[in-house]
Amino acid sequence: MNQFKNTDEHLAFLAESLRFMDGAMNSDEIATFNEELAKSPCKLAAFADLQMQGAMVRNSIRQSAYELIDDASNGQESVSRSSVHAIHKNSWQLYSRAALAIAASGLLLIASYWIGRSRTVASPAPGSIAANIRTNSSIVSDAPSKIKAGVPNRDVILKSSAGAKFFGELIPSNKSPLTQKRDYVLTDGMIEVLFPDGAQAIIESPAIFRVINDACLAMDSGNCSVYAPDGAEGFRVETPTSRIVDRGTRFVVSVGENAATEVRVVEGAADVYDLDADGAGVHLVDYDAKRFLSESTEAALDIPFAPNRYQPNLPDRLVGYEASESATGGVEELQSVTVQRDGDLKTFNVQELIGVSISHFKGGTDADTNGHFACGKELPKDVLSLLSDNKINTGVINPGSSSSPLTQSPQSDTPGLAVQFKKPVINGPGPDVVFFELQCLTNPIDGDAFHVCPIPFTEKSKSHTIRSYDLTLASPETKIIQGFFLHRFQKPIQSIEELVASPSLGSPIRLAFRAVAVGIDLSDLGYESNEQVSGLFIQDAADNDKDVVDPVFIAGLPTDEQVKEVGN
């Protein structure tokens, strides 16, 4: 039960906690603080959570320091003691600000919650970018100078993400606001951040960044690609040494661990100023590229332009899916999938997707303890239809494994699962096939790794191994599925005939499973653009974990012409 009388009391406790963890209390204050914790289970629990976050931060910093040592010593016969000390020092300096911010972030989230309960926030004006996004107030935000007094602050939102992970927290869902003036540590993947006036920034991991206000992004470390269209002139990026102001442009900002800042202008112009000065600065135009090693722009060095550093879009991928929700809350029937292909988003209704039939199945040499069917209490008459019944809680699971991907066409005794498309899938840009599997929270967070192989092999064919899904257990777009039954066999299943004819025993699964998913690009298998593909072969990757891939839905993406055929 919450024992805080009001918001002010709660915020005062948060401030005391931060002072204690920062070592800013004297002995008398520490004694008083300990007595306060002893009298309040609520405060003790909140402080314990904060201590746990601090431990996570310290472990990350320690690991980062040793990784820097390993990187520095690669290719060298020895590393001096002074060099090792310098590497440690640089690593701690790099992460010290992030550590403090992450430790404080849990408290700030709690504080924002209490403030949100006690304040009524006005809605954005109709037609604005944030019109359909709830505005929020933050205890650390300040109104940008361009916003008139009395007008609510405009949200900066996480537009989309690709394989992204934030240190110590879940990645926010798409179109959710980012909290201003707090550090975010992007450890994996990429994100796209959208500002109210239309400026967009694609941030690549690893990176430490902050949203200063609705027209300013701070990059402490990492790489960001900025596009500022008409109407967003004056958007700026701040780094530890520089302030980059857009003049209607596309540009790249890269901040190294030593705080050196590189700026490359792809199109238009940008001005680079000393961070704490309003001098003339350095004016950059198309294809200009400079490195700023200190807080003085006068020390700028010319560098190669390197146009490939600019990221115009997040990678092509499976972006999300929609499914009908059952009476008990979990989803069951797939309704649509949204993919990015050649930079463009496209949504397909499930009826437009190209289904599959199973033509081969061989499990492991031992009977799989989780069986090979996920479905209802009773098996359907056609058990081989479970991969194409549009449900994402039914499937033909746990096919055979191989630590090495195939280098030739599979044979009748090759472990794995073969599917044939009901009509040819045409290899286009980006993902061409969607693959769903069921995953428990105790399973690998990125999904179970698997090999996907062409059928048949040709001289240009190659297998492709997928080790991280587009939508993982950490993705906010991943949905909890309706409960199901696992159907187990008493003996190993070595053929598709045994799979169909062998008796099985079903048992209910009550754990919370989610449907993770990935898009398969047929170009990764050696197929040419516009080449027709009739089938694929799937094998578990037999990695170090004991989990085997569990396909519940596989389908090809149609061309525009194939979609029209379905409509007719």
Span 233-247, pLDDT tens digits: 899 999 998 999 999
Lowest mean pLDDT of 295-299, 323-327, 511-515, 545-549, name the range. 295-299
Can you give the pLDDT at residue 540? 96
Average pLDDT over residues 324-346: 92
Residue 45 has a pLDDT of 61
Say how many CA atoms lie within 13 Å of 186 toward its Cβ: 27
**Position 93 confidence tier, pLDDT thresholds 50, 70, 90:** very low
More confident residue, 279 or 202: 202
Reply yes or no on whether the pLDDT at 337 is more than 90. yes
What per-residue confidence (pLDDT) applies to 436? 98
> What pLDDT score does 41 carry?
65
Write out the DSSP string of 204-252: EEEEEEEEEETTEEEEEEEEEEEE--TT-TT-EEE-SSEEEEESS-EEE
pLDDT at 442: 87
Q: Are 228 and 248 in contact (CB under 8 A)?
A: yes
Q: How far apart are CA 29 and CA 42, in angstroms?
A: 20
CA distance 47 to 37: 8
Angle at 97 between CA 474 and CA 298, to 5 degrees: 115
Average pLDDT over residues 324-330: 85
Q: Percent of the chain at pLDDT above 70? A: 75
**CA pair distance 438, 12, nearest whole angstrom:** 45
Q: Can you give the length of the chain in residues?
A: 568
- Cβ atoms of 187 and 206 closer than 8 Å: yes
The most confident of 73-87, 194-208, 542-556, by mean pLDDT: 194-208
Give the long-range contacts of residues 36-45, CB within 8 A, separation 24 or more. 40/3, 41/3, 42/1, 42/2, 42/3, 42/4, 43/3, 43/13
Full DSSP string of 47-111: HHHHHHHHHHHHHHHHHHHHHHHHHHHTT-S---HHHHHHHHHHHHHHHHHHHHHHHHHHHHHHH
pLDDT at 51: 52
**Beta strands at 282-285 and 242-246: parallel, antiparallel or unpaired:** unpaired
Q: What is the pLDDT at residue 120?
A: 30
Q: Which pLDDT score is estimated for 389?
A: 94
| Three-state secondary-structure class, residue 299 | helix
Confidence label for 50 from pLDDT (cuts 50, 70 and 90): low
β-strand pairing of 236-238 with 216-227: parallel
Cβ pair 546, 398 in contact under 8 A: no
Average pLDDT, whole number, for the chain?
A: 81
Q: State which amino acid sits at residue 499.
A: L
Sign of CA dihedral 387, 393, 394, 396: positive
| pLDDT reported for residue 86 | 36
Q: Which residues, 6+ apart, have CB-to-CB distance to 36 below 8 Å?
A: 13, 16, 43
Check residue 293 and give its pLDDT.
Answer: 84
Q: What are phi and psi of 325, to 5 degrees?
A: -95, 135
**106: pLDDT confidence band, cut at 50, 70 and 90?**
very low
Residues 6+ apart with CB under 8 A from 276: 295
Instruction: Identify any residues that bridge with 510 across adjacent strands, giving them in sequence order.
Output: none
**345, burial (CB in 10 Å: exposed 0-12, middle 13-18, buried 19+):** exposed
Alpha-carbon distance of 185 to 166, in angstroms, equals 6
The backbone torsions φ and ψ at residue 510, rounded to the nearest 5 degrees and listed phi first, read -110, -5
Integer Cα distance of 303 and 151 in angstroms: 43
Q: Would you say 292 and 263 are in contact if contact means Cβ atoms under 8 Å apart?
A: yes
DSSP-assigned letter for residue 124: P
Contact 514, 487 (CB under 8 A): no
439-485 pLDDT, tens digit each: 998 899 999 999 999 999 999 999 999 999 999 999 999 999 999 99
Looking at residues 83-106, what average pLDDT do you find?
39
Position 202 scores a pLDDT of 98
pLDDT of residue 4: 62
Q: How many CA atoms lie within 13 A of 360 on its CB side?
A: 20
The pair of structure tokens assigned to 333 is 């029937």
Average pLDDT estimate for 552-562:
94
Q: If you average pLDDT over residues 373-381, what whole number do you get?
A: 94
- pLDDT at residue number 69: 35
The residue with tokens 């209704």 is 349
Give the model's pLDDT for residue 65: 37
Other Cβ atoms closer than 10 A to 433? 25
More confident site: 142 or 442: 442
Phi then psi dihedrals of residue 498, to 5 deg: -65, -35
What's the rounded Cα separation, in Å, for the pair 302 and 292?
A: 9
Instruction: Find the helix or strand (DSSP H, E) in which 294 lies.
Output: none
Q: Cα separations (Å) of 367 from 148, 310, 414, 538?
A: 69, 50, 16, 19
